[in-house]
Amino acid sequence: MAATQTTQQLLELFSFLQDPQAPVRRIALASLLPYTTPDAPERKLFLRPDHVEQLATIAHTSLPIPAQIIAHDALSALINLSSTLDVVLRLHKLPGFVTGLVRMIIDEKALLADLACMLLSNMSKLDAVARQVLGLRVPFTIVTSEPSPAPAPAPEGQDEQREEGPAAKMAKLETTTEEIAALDLLLEVFLKGEGKQYNANANYDFLASVFANVSLLPQGRAFLLSTPDRTIEPPLAKLISFTEHPSTIRRGGVASTIKNAAFEKAGHTRLIASSNDGPPEEGCIDLLVQLLLPLCGNEEFDIDVLDELPSELQLLPADKQRESDPQIRTILVETLVLLATGRANRDAMRRRGVYPVIKEAHAWETVQGVKEPMVRLVNLLMREEGPDTAVEEVDAPTEEDALPPVPAWTAEPASASGSGSGTSFVGASGEVVTAPVDEPRGAEPGAPALGRGDDQPFVHHNVPLSRMQPEEDEDEMLLEV
d(CA 333, CA 398): 18
d(CA 340, CA 478): 16
What angle (nearest 5°) sits at the alpha carbon of residue 207, between those of residues 108 and 296?
A: 120
Q: What is the pLDDT of residue 371?
A: 96
Mean pLDDT lowest for which of 95-104, 318-327, 417-426? 417-426
Q: Where are the domains of the chain?
A: 1-147+171-202, 215-420+461-481
d(CA 303, CA 324): 28
Q: What is the pLDDT of residue 175?
A: 77
How confident is the model over 321-354, as pLDDT tens digits?
999 999 999 999 999 999 999 999 999 999 999 9
Q: Which residues pair with 402 in a beta bridge?
A: 466
Q: What is the pLDDT of residue 282?
A: 80
Q: What is the pLDDT of residue 66?
A: 56
Instruction: Evaluate whether the domain defined by 1-147+171-202 bears CATH number 3.30.450.30.
Output: no
Q: What is the pLDDT of residue 185?
A: 95
The residue ranking higher by pLDDT, 173 or 199, is 199
Q: Which residues pair with 433 in a beta bridge?
A: 425
What stretches of 136-206 show up as alpha helix (H) in DSSP? 166-169, 182-192
d(CA 72, CA 54): 14
Question: What is the arithmetic mean of pLDDT over 208-212?
Answer: 97
Q: Please say whether the beta carbons of 465 and 116 come within 8 A.
A: no
Question: What is the arithmetic mean of pLDDT over 445-458?
Answer: 34
Tell me how far CA of residue 87 lies from CA of 18, 61, 83, 101, 419, in angstroms: 20, 19, 8, 16, 26
How confident is the model over 277-287, as pLDDT tens digits?
877 888 789 99
pTM: 0.79
% of the chain surpassing 90 pLDDT: 53
What stretches of 352-481 show up as alpha helix (H) in DSSP? 354-364, 368-382
Mean pLDDT lowest for which of 22-31, 179-188, 402-411? 402-411
pLDDT at 217 over 50: yes
Question: What is the arithmetic mean of pLDDT over 17-37?
Answer: 91
Q: What is the pLDDT of residue 268?
A: 86
Mean model confidence pLDDT for the chain: 79
The residue ranking higher by pLDDT, 185 or 416, is 185
Q: What is the pLDDT of residue 405?
A: 31
d(CA 468, CA 118): 34
Look up residue 404 and give its DSSP letter: S
Tell me how far CA of residue 157 lies from CA of 153, 154, 160, 161, 288, in angstroms: 11, 8, 9, 12, 77
Confidence of residue 271 (pLDDT cuts 50, 70, 90): very high
pLDDT at 7 over 90: no
Q: Please say whether the beta carbons of 402 and 422 come within 8 A.
A: no
Tell me how far CA of residue 80 lies from CA of 251, 283, 368, 477, in angstroms: 23, 42, 33, 46
Q: Please say whether the beta carbons of 242 and 251 come within 8 A.
A: yes
